[in-house]
Amino acid sequence: MRSFYLALSALVLIGCDKSPSTSTNLDAGPDPAAERPAASENWLRDILSYDLAIDLAAKTGTVTISVAGESSTGLSLDVGNLVIETVADDFGALEHIDLGAQLNIGVPAGGESRTLTITYAFTSHDNFDGWMEEQGVTFLWPAFCGNLYPCNPDPADGATFTMSVTGAQGTAVYPESIPGQAPTYMPAIAVGDFTEMALGTTPAGTAVSVWYEPGQEAAAVAGTTNLVDVFEFLETTYGPYTFGSKVGTVSADWGGGDFGGMEHHPLWHISSGSLSDEETNAHEAAHGWYGNGVRIACWEDFVLSEGIVTYMAARALEESGVDLWPQYDCELKSICNSGENTTALLDTCGEIDLINHELWSSTPYQKGAQYLREVAAVLGVEVVDQALAEFYEANVGKAARMRDLVALLKSKGRSEEIEALTVAWLETEACPASAAALCP
């Protein structure tokens, strides 16, 4: 599902509502693609790719979107607080209705795919919900892509990306291409006084770097000591990486006291406060396989992203002699003894607003990791690795459900014990009795 088109020049189309010459078309009659259907709502239209051109100085953008050809002529996009200027395709302006945060467009029916170009203006944000000009960083997770570019924020709707950024006050670090299907919070930009340190290349040919700002060299070195080996372990254990051949950690200034990271592949962001932390670096790298490579079908499946990669980070660093389990055990115990504890896996799909729901906590991370650890104690660590690799191979570039991974684990044997662990760790709010012995 790669993009087959070149970016259209939107400027040519502005104010042009007549069809281009069809003199080269030997067929008589109008091209159906030249029809201008009425704008209508359709959130299910499959978006194949986005080509983003962002001017940070002017705060303007041009996005060329390729959508699957369908009998439907509707396309709905989240446009947050963008100001939409033009909506057009090769044949001229397209009918569209700007409802505020929602843009409905009329796209000619049929064809293998249709491309359209939208020009717009965006604004600076300060609450981890768009382009944060003061910090020089974008933050779009979980559903704020519409504050940077017209998009479908549904985590199930993956697309490929190409990007160009101009007007940066400093060095802009961003991927020019995201060749594997990715969720719409994945494209990211960081602007700063960056130094790139090449860390090495894996046997699969993936070059790993870290980008850091003045004064951060020691932290960058500490946090990425084993990052090439971690990446090699992930590639060889779980399957080929799909987001390009150059990857790495980018230091992101999220403000004072920041911690954690964000899985923007292939150039993931790590907050300046966690840059020195190997666990955070490994965790964000592992999202290339789960959360991004395999997308979650809905936010209720958050554990399929966070629980799995928390486990994978421990597996990968274990190979380098770093034991994350004592830290995880204490984090879990703290969850169990606090009001933060929740059920890690919900039955619904597409019904929760994650950042305003109790599931948005450390619980899916830690319960999910401990679940796989106990499944591995029953089935064997290699069997669990093999199951994660099989599930990745079957679902990379697609959206998947945690319950399908559970079913695969149960198919590996001793299914009643696996089911009991599933109930205890994922489907019950109270922590399992075995948690009490952790973190003495």
User: Which residues form the interface with Zn ion (CB under 5 A)?
Assistant: 306
Q: Which of 279, 306 has the CB closer to Zn ion?
A: 306
Q: Which of 51, 284 has the CB closer to Zn ion?
A: 284
Strands (E), 134-284: 137-139, 159-166, 171-173, 177-182, 190-192, 195-201, 207-212, 246-252, 261-262, 267-271
Q: Which of 91, 233 has the CB closer to Zn ion?
A: 233
CB of 414 to Zn ion, least distance (A): 29
Q: Which of 70, 306 has the CB closer to Zn ion?
A: 306
CB of 188 to Zn ion, least distance (A): 14
67: left (phi over 0), alpha (psi -120 to 50) or beta: beta
Half-sphere exposure of 311 (CA within 13 A, CB side): 23
CB of 314 to Zn ion, least distance (A): 13
CB of 47 to Zn ion, least distance (A): 24
CB of 246 to Zn ion, least distance (A): 21
Q: Which of 239, 368 has the CB closer to Zn ion?
A: 368
Q: Which of 10, 303 has the CB closer to Zn ion?
A: 303
Q: Which residues contact 56 (CB under 8 A, 6 or more apart)?
A: 131, 133, 165, 166, 167, 168, 169, 172, 189, 191
CB of 287 to Zn ion, least distance (A): 6
Quick one: which of 52, 104, 112, 29 has its CA closest to 73?
A: 104
Quick one: which of 113, 95, 92, 114 has its CA closest to 103?
A: 95
Coil, helix or strand for 361? coil
The partner residues of 121 in beta bridges, in order of sequence, read 60, 83
Q: Which residues contact 311 (CB under 8 A, 6 or more apart)?
A: 368, 369, 372, 373
Q: Which of 306, 374 has the CB closer to Zn ion?
A: 306
CB of 36 to Zn ion, least distance (A): 43
Alpha carbons 329 and 319: distance in angstroms, whole number: 19
For Zn ion, the nearest residue by Cβ is: 306
